[in-house]
Amino acid sequence: MMPINLKRLPVLFFFFLSIALPQARGQEVGKSLAEKLGYARDAKLIVVHADDVGVTHSVNAATIKALDTGLVNSASIMVPCPWFPEIADYATAHPELDFGLHLTLTSERVYYRWGPVAAKNTVPSLVDANGYFFHDWSAETRPSTHPAVRIDPQDAERELRAQIDRALAMGIRPTHLDSHQYRLIINGKELFEVFLRLGHSYKLPIFVNRDWFAANPYLEGALGRDDIVLDHTVTMEPTVRAEKWAEFYTAALKNFQPGVTEFVIHVGFDDDELKAATRERDTWGAAWRQRDFDFFTSAEFRALLKEQNIKLVTWRQLANTAGR
């Protein structure tokens, strides 16, 4: 140990505090997310993440079964949906599981719909004439079916705070926030800043991915040094034929890049409820979700993870890297 002049210690302490902390933080910038998680820089890490929990009973039941296998290890919940109470009850009873909130501003199906958690007169730009969230709105933050309406970021923030507050009130302790249909990612800086502000306000990491920076340049500029950024995303493409499902995922696992990759998957059972709820189009439909369930709970997937030396990490672990 170096000798220390005790008389000068307080001065030295504040001197170091003022200049050393930013330097120390500066050194951390070089650490990869994998390293912050305690893995080697070139470790291959995966979050196998089931989206849209709460949307139907079928999706809830399939997610619970998938999480039971341990192969699907994270999921996020849609608070405005009718089956939210079922999954809120389950998540509260299983606090060890890695549940985030899937912040929702659309009701994209035709025969089965939901609206805002906030009083609809407080979020007028989010709701259609019948009081549901819009089916869709475009990248210009205008609902495509109602081109005169602009999604107001203040309405979005008000609604999403109501969603998080209902989840907390009903016992959920979310590990992260993500955005249903990436609406808060791909629709401009203002909505992304809402997302980021919610993350900071509730002290929860938000799902952002380095791969998205090129197409959405405002992302990188808005993020701070302490915000967690995942390295890659893999998600099924609508162009992949049903019989090529396992092949698509297998190729992704065999070409897995170092760093943290989130597999964004959509599990559900191909049953009457989910068939009816999604019948107007096949994309993310009942058969699609059954195929995701089948692959990600399979012995084949388990063997591929082992063979490729890919390790599972959760959003709870990711959240714990904040500030490291």
Of the two residues 84 and 195, which places its CB atom closer to a copy of itself in the complex?
84
Helix locations, the chain, DSSP H: 9-28, 33-36, 57-69, 84-93, 153-169, 183-186, 189-202, 218-222, 245-254, 272-277, 286-296, 299-307, 315-319
Q: Which residues contact 257 (CB under 8 A, 6 or more apart)?
A: 44, 231, 232
> Which of 264/274 has CB closer to a copy of itself?
274
111 near a copy of itself, judged by CB under 8 A: yes
Please check whether residue 184 is in contact with residue 195, taking contact to mean a CB–CB distance below 8 angstroms: yes
Nearer to a copy of itself, 42 or 272 (CB): 272
Q: Which of residues 146-175 bind a copy of itself (CB under 8 A)?
A: 162, 166, 169-170
Q: How far apart are CA 53 and CA 50, in angstroms?
A: 7
Contacts of 110 (CB under 8 A, 6+ apart): 135, 280
In terms of CB distance, is 47 or 66 closer to a copy of itself? 66
Binding to a copy of itself by CB under 8 A, coded x per residue (else -) over 117-136, reads x-xxxx------xxxx----
Residues 6+ apart with CB under 8 A from 246: 295, 298, 300
Centroid of chain to Cα 9: 46
Site string for a copy of itself, 241-280 (x = CB under 8 A): ----------------------------x-xxx--xx---
Tokens 């008000």: give the residue: 158
Q: How far is the CB of 132 from a copy of itself (least distance, A)?
A: 8
Among 32, 35, 65, 82, binds a copy of itself (CB under 8 A): 82
Nearest approach, Cβ of residue 7 and a copy of itself (Å): 58
What is the CB-side half-sphere exposure of residue 151 using CA atoms within 13 A? 29
Query: What's the min distance (Å) between Cβ of 62 and a copy of itself?
Result: 11
Contact status: 289 vs a copy of itself (CB under 8 A): no
Contact 311, 27 (CB under 8 A): no
Site string for a copy of itself, 30-59 (x = CB under 8 A): --------------------------xxx-
* Both tokens assigned to 315: 């959003």
And the tokens for 165? Answer: 């507050």
Binding residue (CB under 8 A) for a copy of itself from 28, 35, 89, 227: 89
Is position 86 an interface residue for a copy of itself (rule: CB under 8 A)? Answer: yes
3-state secondary structure of 233: strand
Choose between 123 and 191: whose C-beta lies nearer to a copy of itself.
123
Rank residues 110 and 303 by Cβ distance to a copy of itself and give the closer one: 110
Q: With 0-12 CB in 10 A as exposed, 13-18 as middle and 19+ as buried, what is 40?
A: exposed
The dihedral through the CA atoms of 56, 60, 66, 71 has a sign that is positive
Distance in Å, CB of 272 to a copy of itself, minimum:
6
Closest distance between a copy of itself and the C-beta of residue 130, in Å? 6
Does position 67 interact with a copy of itself (CB under 8 A)? The reply is no
Q: Which stretch binds a copy of itself (CB under 8 A): 30-38, 75-83, 234-242, 282-290?
A: 75-83
d(CA 99, CA 73): 9
Q: Using CB under 8 A, which of 28, 112, 152, 240 touches a copy of itself?
A: 112
User: Using CB under 8 A, which of the segments 17-25, 66-74, 115-123, 174-182 binds a copy of itself?
Assistant: 115-123
Chain contacts with a copy of itself (rule: CB under 8 A): 56-58, 60-61, 81-86, 89, 110-114, 117, 119-122, 129-132, 162, 166, 169-170, 269, 271-273, 276-277
